Amino acid sequence: MSSRRDLLSPRDYDEDAESLRSPLSDQDSDSEDDEFLARSRTTLELAEHDRTVLDDEEELEKLLTRSGPTHDIRRIFSPNRSNVRIGKKEEARRQRRRKERAARKARREKRHGDDEEMYEMEEGHPGDESSLLSSSSSDSDERIKEQYADIQDRQKVSWRKLTLVSSAIFVLFLILLLGAYKASAGFRSSHNPKTPLSNGTALFAPTTILISLDGFRADFLDRGLTPTLNGFIAEGVSPQYMRPSFPSVTFPNHFTLVTGLYPESHGIVGNTFWDPELQEQFYYTHPNVSMQAKWWNAEPLWMTAENQEVRSAIHMWPGSEAHIGGVEPTYLDQYNGSEVLARKTQRILELLDLPGLEQESLPVPQRPQFIAAYVPNVDADGHKYGPNSTEIRSTISKVDDMLADLFTGLGERNLTEVVNIVVVSDHGMASTSTERLVQLDDLIDLNLTSHIDGWPLRGIRPKRPEDLKTLQDQLERVKSQYSDAIEIYTREGMPERYHFKNNDRIAPLWVIPKTGWAIVERPEFDAQVALQNGDVYHPKGIHGYDHEHPLMRAIFIARGPAFPHPPNSRLDVFQNINVYNILCDSLGIKPHPNNGTLRLPLQPSGLHSDEDAPVLDTSSDPPATQEPTQTVAHTSTVMISSSISTTSDTESASASPSAKPEEAADDETDTDWWDSILDKVEDVKDWATDLLDDIKEEFSPAR
């Protein structure tokens, strides 16, 4: 087909229509010419009706097709036809019209906005209007067509990119949604499926064994005495240590471990305390009193399990005999402090050997899924001999051997990868000394008190409300003299991190010893007389201090199908309020509301062997005895504080500290051989005292 340069524009038709019509109408033509003339007139009428049609070659082609054979109509408009010859005037007119068309196109492009100009600039075409005017109309049209084709292609690419980006965002949203779902309770249930695991001979529903090593301080693992526990850490997942809850004593922390609650929330606020509502005293060594349900105001894990049809077996856990909530464990072993360690191992394995899901004839499986065992040996000997004694080293080794026997028994039953094992402790232990005693009688008037709670910290309850202010003032007067030994708080003023204020069982006024110190009252123990006579204070090991102190650190170690972590995984340090949730998740049961936040799966922060593992701050255990200077100086302080009741006595006593250190300086000139003899005598006294203690009572007074 001819190019547009060979055709007339609509204006050409408009101006020459008459000239074309008249000559043709006057001609005497044959029938062929008459038919051709009729088609030509139709074409001209269509062009006059819609002049814009001829601007487009495709539209022109359609028009020519409608008008008849294309070669005929082209003959009329072709410049080669003799009856439509174009002279110089016509050529000038054409050039003018081309320029006008170029100008109109430029104006249209300008009206189309900056977008077209932007695309032109991106493709390297300047947006100068003169360039359009200087080119021929056909070249301009072709360029514009190419540009618009490019724009359309790029628009298609842009939409394709937008679709891909939108799809990626949608997929990312689905991934985040799935992650949130996996973090939900539904995922935790699927993470600990209730599908039984087989050891080859029996089917085991999710099963967890919890073992508490009472008084096992975290750094006991660093003494080279615990190959089994250290190997357990290398195989499992654990933090560098676990924080107990305040106060760091046995009964509050063991109930926290199985409820996930702070002591202020579950109500067991000490080994001993007064309940103002019940008007009764809780004392942990009197089971006929302490093992009553009225004291225990929270749901322990065995109750959670039994309520969800998961059988439990509790071996001597503190509080397990209290009939809490009217729900009993399926198997319950009463406390027996004289039980040998081998019997504990045997008992746990006996429970695992009971028939379970594989016995289809049983209406209910007899094998428990949750087994909790309490091991008091390290705590008892830590109190009795001190945490740095030869005796405690032997006890630590024996407990580690007990665990070795248990793990061997699990391996023989092919249960190492079938059951979960969690080993914890409730608190640490610190050495005490006769030189680190504070006589409470010398700080306050005990006649104004009705009850004194706790140990080694002391909660003071006044007889009358107005006595509280008097007692508080008495403590404030001596506070500065004992700044190295004690801290004094009202219940409302307790540090927030203690979580120890929101319960009426917490006394209104507290004297809290610093780590390694103890508070005593006469006539149980007279600190001054003991110092003068060289008596040794018992117990030699104490806990109950600030739960964040390094010497109070506990342990948490876990291994099993609920803990699918790389061996030797290291967790961030956490508090023992989180153990309850972890245990519930390992059993596939729903925990009761609690203060814990950790849930399975646990998220390790690395390995214990990593070079970037945190370096723990440590604290040396206080010495069992003080230097002579410190001993005499402390005696002077006791003498100062003993005269609160009268001003004259206080003034006379306040002059003594300056003289006592001089006497201590003289004592330091004694010969080494004399010190050696004194040390030997002290050792004999310790041995004799320990022997008498063994005869008088079977266990330490502190548990």
Q: Taking residues 163-178, report their average pLDDT.
A: 78
Given a cut of 70, whether residue 47 has pLDDT beyond it is no
- Which of residues 135 and 515 earns the better pLDDT score? 515
Given a cut of 60, whether residue 143 has pLDDT beyond it is no
Q: Say if residue 304 is in the same domain as residue 403.
A: yes
Query: Of 122-136, 391-405, 454-468, 546-560, which range is least confident?
Result: 122-136
Q: Say if residue 462 is in the same domain as residue 424.
A: no
Q: Helix or strand or coil: residue 550? A: helix
User: Each residue of 68-112: pLDDT tens digit?
Assistant: 444 444 444 444 444 444 455 666 777 777 777 777 667 666 555
The verdict on residue 678 lying in a domain is: no
Q: Say if residue 224 is in the same domain as residue 342.
A: yes
What the block records as the tokens of 148 is 């618009």
Given a cut of 80, whether residue 22 has pLDDT beyond it is no
Structural domain range at position 567: 197-261+298-430+549-607
Q: Taking residues 455-468, report their average pLDDT.
A: 96
Q: Which amino acid is at 454?
A: G
For residues 500 and 490, give the distance between their C-alpha atoms in angstroms, rounded to a whole number. 11
CA 222 to chain centre: 27
Nearest Cα to Cα of residue 209 among 427, 380, 367, 395: 367
The verdict on residue 71 lying in a domain is: no
Nearest Cα to Cα of residue 576 among 600, 594, 596: 596
Q: Say if residue 390 is in the same domain as residue 458.
A: no
User: Each residue of 180-228: pLDDT tens digit?
Assistant: 555 544 444 444 457 899 999 999 999 999 999 999 999 999 999 999 9
Domain boundary among 538, 565, 580: 538
The verdict on residue 117 lying in a domain is: no
Q: What integer pLDDT is reported at residue 53 of this predicted model?
A: 46
For residues 642 and 277, give the distance between their C-alpha atoms in angstroms, rounded to a whole number. 34
Given the structure tokens 């009426």, which residue do they identify?
A: 504
Q: What integer pLDDT is reported at residue 37 of this predicted model?
A: 54
Q: Taking residues 433-441, report their average pLDDT.
A: 96
For residues 392 and 88, give the distance between their C-alpha atoms in angstroms, rounded to a whole number. 124
Q: Say if residue 425 is in the same domain as residue 448.
A: no
**What are the DSSP calls for 186-215, one per residue?**
HHHHHHS--S-EE-SS-EE-S-EEEEEETT
Q: Taking residues 511-536, report their average pLDDT.
A: 95
Q: What integer pLDDT is reported at residue 629 of this predicted model?
A: 35
- State yes or no: cis peptide before 79, omega within 30 of 0: no
User: Each residue of 590-599: pLDDT tens digit?
Assistant: 999 999 999 9
Q: Helix or strand or coil: residue 373? A: strand
Q: What integer pLDDT is reported at residue 131 of this predicted model?
A: 39
CATH code where residue 211 lies: 3.40.720.10
Nearest Cα to Cα of residue 252 among 217, 278, 290: 290
Which 3-state string (H, E, C) describes 77-91?
A: HCCCCHHHCCCHHHH
Q: What integer pLDDT is reported at residue 28 of this predicted model?
A: 45
Domain boundary among 565, 587, 607: 607
Could you say which of 250, 449, 631, 635 is catalytic?
A: 250
Q: How confident is the model at residue 48 (pLDDT cuts 50, 70, 90)?
A: low
The verdict on residue 405 lying in a domain is: yes
Q: Say if residue 230 is in the same domain as residue 333.
A: yes
> What is the number of domains present in the chain?
2
Sheet holding 509-513, edge to edge: 449-453, 458-462, 509-513, 486-490
The verdict on residue 476 lying in a domain is: yes
- State yes or no: cis peptide before 196, omega within 30 of 0: no
Indicate the burial class of 32 (C-beta count within 10 angstroms; 0-12, 13-18, 19 or more).
exposed
The verdict on residue 574 lying in a domain is: yes
Domain boundary among 607, 627, 657: 607
- Which of residues 103 and 312 earns the better pLDDT score? 312
635 is catalytic: no
The verdict on residue 268 lying in a domain is: no
Query: Of 114-123, 156-165, 225-234, 321-330, which range is least confident?
Result: 114-123
Between the ranges 37-46, 121-130, 345-354, 635-644, where is the mean pLDDT highest? 345-354
Q: For residues 266 and 297, is the Cβ–Cβ distance under 8 A? A: yes
User: Each residue of 333-380: pLDDT tens digit?
Assistant: 999 999 999 999 999 999 999 999 877 777 878 999 999 999 999 999
CA torsion 329→334→338→342, rounded to 10°? -30
Tell me the helix, strand and coil percentages in the chain, rounded to 5: 50, 10, 40
Given a cut of 80, whether residue 475 has pLDDT beyond it is yes
Vertex 190: Cα angle to 188 and 194 (nearest 5): 110
Given a cut of 70, whether residue 491 has pLDDT beyond it is yes
